[in-house]
Structure 1
Amino acid sequence: MSRPAAPGRDGPTGKSLWIRHGTWWLHPAWTGVLVALPCLAVTWYIPDQDYRLWWRTPKYFDSAACLTTLLLLGAFVVGAIAPSLARRRSIVRGSRVTPTADQQRILAQAGRVFVVLTLIGYAVWALLAISRGYGGDQLGSALLLNRDTLIGAKEEYFSTAPGVTTLTQFGPLAIVCLLLDRRISGHHHRWALALLAALVLARVLINAERLALFEAVVPVIVVAAALRSGRSARPRHRLWWALLPMVAPLLLAVVFGLFEYTRSWSDRYQHEHIGVGEFVMLRLGGYYATASNNSAVLLTHLAPYAKLPCFTIPVIWNFPILKSLFNVHGALDAGPHHWMLVLAQYGNPEFNNQGAILPAVADYGPVGALVWWAVIGLLLGVCYRALRAGELHGLVLYAVLYVGLLEMGRIFYWGLGRAFPVIAGGILLAVLLRRAGPRAAGEGT
């Protein structure tokens, strides 16, 4: 297809992106339920003696905590499905994203900007590590998967510089922009994508940071699941994408086991005469079961001291300017240091996740937590609705927000400092893309 002679705001580009149907699990309500309910079941059914044996912590998660979690999850689901129920305009099969020339230009420019910002962040991080003494010996030891080197380097050499090394978090947005521009314009961006992938893998290996891999891979999966290559979908491909949630737990266990091997197995678990498969299941289950269990600890022993919402939105109080002006955590007795002290007394500091759903009760009270989760569900539902309607800004923003949905069984990802750059950048880009989009919805053919 040839381009229009004078493309503008309403002028389409040479290629449309067709929306894939059948990926039911992309809906935020489905994802929230599929992630949270299994974690809740594991937390609830495992008895206290197994908590003490496997994860060296008592069980605090009781029936009241379970019921509260279910109610909050229900509020999230109601909020997530509300946009689909409220808007009568149907989304027909064959919906497509038809970018305007201005949108394509913005997407390509944003991709380049995010790549540059990401590279600056990694360059500064590397220079800081070298200035702290990180060299060839440490790198060689890391490549040999020496656990002491991997864990020690993270604390000694790769401690972050707030506001500078945080720029690395623009990487997922850069990847999304480049992949979409690749589909629209045909520009491959091979070197940029390869460099970003290499940096993420190096970060995961050298800095022992699995979440960085998760943050980079999940948006790619969302883009691939949301868009198909042509107007006609192959039944085999449609079936594969529809069944992906069935194989996702196995993929998670395999990836988790590979990266956890050097962190725990080689240090302690191999001397306790358990198999690798059993180790992976106990360790992986422990991350999720103890997260919800820790939420009960938080509500009982730390929340009474908090007078501001510091558990769901710690990014605000850890922001460089605010952190230097106000000693918020010291005043509230609810900061990271106090949390580790509480865990040392009541739980196990090795498993220190606070959970994702119940901390809202500590910040806003029971009623406020219901409203909080309903609003979060509503915002994600609106974003998902925009994606399904073939709106480019919805696709970009939802791709980077989806990471938080998959973390609902473990942490409230959207409130972390590492999530702030990608969320802020995603919102800004979504606003620009929406303004540059066609004045009439480009849905269907």
Structure 2
Amino acid sequence: MAISAEEVKKRAYDLKDQITQDRRYLHQIPEIGTDLPKTSAYIKKRLDEMGIPWKDCGGPIPPKMTEDFVEAGFPRMEKETGVTALIGHGSPCILLRADMDALPVREDNDLEFRSCSSTGHMCGHDSHAAMLLGAAQILKDMESELKGSVKLMFQPGEETGAGARVMVEDGALTDPKVDAAFGLHVQPTDRTGEVGYAVGVNSASLDSFILKIYGRGGHSSQPQLCTDPLMIMNQVYQAVNLLATREADPAAMVALTCGVAKGGTAVNIIPDEAELHIGLRTLDVEAAEHLKQRIPEVIDHYVKAWNGEYDLTIFHTPCTFSNEELCREMVPHIGEIVGEENVHQIPPMTGTEDFGYVTKEVPGMFAFIGAGKPGNAPLHSPKMILDEEVLPIGAAVHANAAIAWLEEHGKENN
């Protein structure tokens, strides 16, 4: 007998107090980056209490990646403390993902459980982890009725753009092989319980170029004896912006921003070094591939033309892609929880989400769930507050989507 959505929803609301307790505890211990020792320890403790087997996933980060992140201004991160867990048995297997890292943003509100550190869960990842823990309990209680297995992915480092990559490279999608994946993100500016999703590309890729230019400093009265890195930086700045306007299709969404441009200490001194940080976002895969190649070429030619040298560090986070067939299968079962009138197709977001590393490998769906109302402080704001009524709803959406997908695809193996 199939497990009904009503039963899933009832069990989620029965767990509301526990899910809220989990969320509030995680909210008070925000950690940033890929190394989240306190957060991961709590996740594993809760999985142990539910009798759900788990594995560490991520492990040591390659030294080059560590140094690249330091160059980009992140804290030194030498390991990733991701966690995977398994409920059910055999194939097919669906993965449910929750990110759990915080932001380097000091929280500015009067919640009794607010973070008192210089970091805060202002992107709602604490609620993602809590909702997935709630779904885990529902699925564990119904484990004998599952038509396959559910893998849980508790992921650090989403805000670095590479946390999912590290877990995927460490085998998060294997043993058992993952056949489909689902991710959910809260949205405090949407009405609680509304779900929005985009078919196809649903988040922008992000390519970051950290450029350090080395010249030869000296007195401004003798520029002929110097190589001016600030002048070179200015030339590169103009050239890469022209690329976006002249070598990308105007129909493509391309946003290129140089968010850091620095160097020098005094008006009469030509410095030895300058630094430029370039960020490229686009929803167009072809445009991304072209500009990813052209930006380093332009940098190389301009720096060398003016007798400079340089170091270039590049980060890439791909677009997240929602599989059309999977969306068609999932939407009715999301609607069973939130009401079909509350599930809407929306435009892709111009922000970036590293769930794209998962959807590059397996069919996936990524959706936003409202956790507030229009006019609320947005994600990443120090004043962002979530409506905790979303917590049991999100847990039920996760669980029902997994159960229903297994019910349908498990039949194919029988």
TM-score between both structures, scaled by the size of structure 2: 0.29
Q: Which has the higher contact order (CA 8 A, sep 6+)?
A: 1
Higher helix proportion: 1
